[in-house]
Amino acid sequence: MDKKLVKVITYGTFDLFHQGHYRLLQRAKQLGDYLIVGITTESYDKTRGKLSVVDSIMTRIENVKKTGFADEIIIEDSPGQKFSDVKKYNIDIFTVGSDWTGQFDYLKDYCKVVYLERTKDISSTMLREKKQHIQRIGIVGTGRIANRFIPEAKLVSGVTTQGVYNPHKESALQFAQKWDINAYTEKEEFYQEIDVVYIASPHDTHYDYIKEALAHGKNVICEKPLVLKKKQAEEVFSEAKEKELILFEGIKTAYCPGFQKLLGIACSGMIGAVRNVEACFTKLEKPGSRERTDRLYGGSFFELGSYVMFPILKLFGTEYEEIAFDTIDDENGLDLFTRVSLRYPSGVATATCGLGVKSEGRLLISGTLGYIVVEAPWWKTSYFEVHYEDAGRIDKYSEIFLGDGLRYEISDFLALLNHNEKNAFKLTRGDSIALAGIMEKFMNEKRLGRG
Ligand code: CTP
């Protein structure tokens, strides 16, 4: 009688293929007769927080193939897959490295589980860090968003938060102590000790800080809105280009996996041609808050406008035919609530935001065959539905959104810094320039034009 084939399975990312991977596969193959290797997809790695993978899935598959140990290669795309693969492929032995010891014991009811000793002193993480000099980030500003940035940056390998700059010594010291980083009140010293500037200061200071950071040869991540004038946006981008530096606007929605999935579906034809987009974001702020008192730069639109305009620009583009702003103003003249109406050759859009009026905060994308609806907080997209004329049919999609979501933008920024342009389409220079132009129009019509 024929001897039964012993089937072995193993999984991994196999990024920057190294000796540890080779030895693991070699020993895995020796455990049986037929080796199946599961290789993670980029989206699965993202969902499990592995954000800095360098090689594409094709390269990783090629590298595993080249070893000659794999009889079959499959892709791993979801957390529950190992269990079903063991059943599906009739697996006798499941194996991974000893860094996972104990974690797959639940499979012991279905096959043998072997943890192979991990090869010492080598890992993809180590190679990534060697390959890429660790980027030291210096933060400008000590507000709410800066506080969110630090724990998120800790989750992206390849960056470290070096310190914070604030001209007000007390604020800088307090913030630095809280996060155990350096405090800088002297700009030259700050610039000397960092590679990247993260600008999270009040809106009106962005332009000067960007120019200064670029002049010091630093790459920049700047919170939205990047700047409030189109010319300024063009100027800073062309300066960055000239100096071969990266200038990156931080609109976190642009980089989160769920929002990318949503754009993909909206543009795929599933809902036909997109004809109407309605985006709303409201966040009540107290009357005495900076957002509701800064006479020139406060108000709903400067605060939240980038979020609500963004899906419109991504779906309809930057070439609108008409734009009109409608506001409900506070006694001090700042907009408590703003509605922007846009007309495009192929459709219409409204962007609504409010600091003093609460609304349902929904994103609705209507097409000729159906519509996509995302409830608040759609700007951190994790779930959305596609509806059709047939009310009984609803397609539901979900996607992970971890923490405050800044980790996605930081990891995309880092990829750009390492000359990997594959994510640059998510928020382009053109998008940022158009947004600055819309901010400028609002400033002219609603702030300066008040007489
Ligand atoms: N592996 C190993 N010895 C190493 C590194 C990895 O035996 N020095 C094994 C892992 O235990 C796993 C497989 O190789 O079974 C694929 O691991 P992967 O996570 O892709 O590689 P790492 O180098 O551990 O990646 P990272 O640093 O990104 O976690």
Task: Choose one of 123, 126, 127, 130 to mutate for the ligand 1 pocket test, by most ligand atoms within 8 angstroms of C-beta.
Answer: 123
- Distance from the Cα of residue 20 to its chain's centroid: 30
Task: Choose one of 35, 48, 99 to mutate for the ligand 1 pocket test, by most ligand atoms within 8 angstroms of C-beta.
Answer: 99
- Residue 397, exposed/middle/buried by CB under 10 A (0-12, 13-18, 19+)? middle
- 3-class secondary structure, 392: coil
* Span 161-175, average pLDDT: 95
* Span 44-65, average pLDDT: 90
Ligand 1 pocket (Cβ < 6 Å) reads 12-15, 20-21, 24, 96-97, 99-100, 118-119, 122-125
- Helix 144-153 and helix 169-179: axis angle, to 10°? 30
Distance CA 344, CA 322 (A): 7
Residue 16 structure tokens: 């920057």
Whether 451 has a pLDDT exceeding 60, the answer reads no
Whether 369 has a pLDDT exceeding 90, the answer reads yes
Atom of ligand 1 nearest to the CA of 100: 11
pLDDT in tens, 201-238: 999 999 999 999 999 999 999 999 999 999 999 999 99
> Are 340 and 441 a contacting pair, CB within 8 Å?
no
CA–centroid distance, 28 to ligand 1, in Å, is 13
Among 179, 426, 288, which Cα is nearest to 171's?
179
Whether 163 has a pLDDT exceeding 80, the answer reads yes
Identify the residue whose C-alpha is closest to ligand 1 atom 11: 97
> Are 309 and 438 a contacting pair, CB within 8 Å?
yes
CA–centroid distance, 7 to ligand 1, in Å, is 21
CA–centroid distance, 162 to ligand 1, in Å, is 29
Atom of ligand 1 nearest to the CA of 52: 28
CA–centroid distance, 98 to ligand 1, in Å, is 9
pLDDT, residue 206, reads 97
pLDDT in tens, 304-352: 999 999 999 999 999 999 999 999 999 999 999 999 999 999 999 999 9
Distance CA 238, CA 210 (A): 12
- pLDDT band, very low/low/confident/very high, at 2 (cuts 50, 70, 90): low
* Span 239-258, average pLDDT: 97
* Span 155-163, average pLDDT: 92
Identify the residue whose C-alpha is closest to ligand 1 atom 23: 123
Distance CA 94, CA 309 (A): 49
Distance CA 246, CA 239 (A): 10
CA–centroid distance, 12 to ligand 1, in Å, is 7
> Are 335 and 299 a contacting pair, CB within 8 Å?
yes
Identify the residue whose C-alpha is closest to ligand 1 atom 17: 12
Atom of ligand 1 nearest to the CA of 99: 11
- pLDDT band, very low/low/confident/very high, at 157 (cuts 50, 70, 90): confident
Identify the residue whose C-alpha is closest to ligand 1 atom 12: 97
Identify the residue whose C-alpha is closest to ligand 1 atom 4: 20
- pLDDT band, very low/low/confident/very high, at 16 (cuts 50, 70, 90): very high
pLDDT, residue 450, reads 58
Atom of ligand 1 nearest to the CA of 15: 20
Annotate 49-62 with DSSP letters as a single string. Answer: T-----S-HHHHHH
Residue 41 structure tokens: 């997809």
For the chain, what is the mean pLDDT?
95
- pLDDT band, very low/low/confident/very high, at 250 (cuts 50, 70, 90): very high
* Span 77-101, average pLDDT: 96
* Span 262-270, average pLDDT: 96
Whether 140 has a pLDDT exceeding 90, the answer reads yes
Task: Choose one of 17, 22, 117, 124 to mutate for the ligand 1 pocket test, by most ligand atoms within 8 angstroms of C-beta.
Answer: 124
Task: Choose one of 46, 118, 131 to mutate for the ligand 1 pocket test, by most ligand atoms within 8 angstroms of C-beta.
Answer: 118
pLDDT, residue 171, reads 94
Question: Which pTM value belongs to this model?
Answer: 0.85
What percent of the chain is predicted at pLDDT more than 70? 99
pLDDT, residue 276, reads 98
> Are 92 and 33 a contacting pair, CB within 8 Å?
no
pLDDT in tens, 395-429: 999 998 999 999 999 999 998 998 888 889 999 99
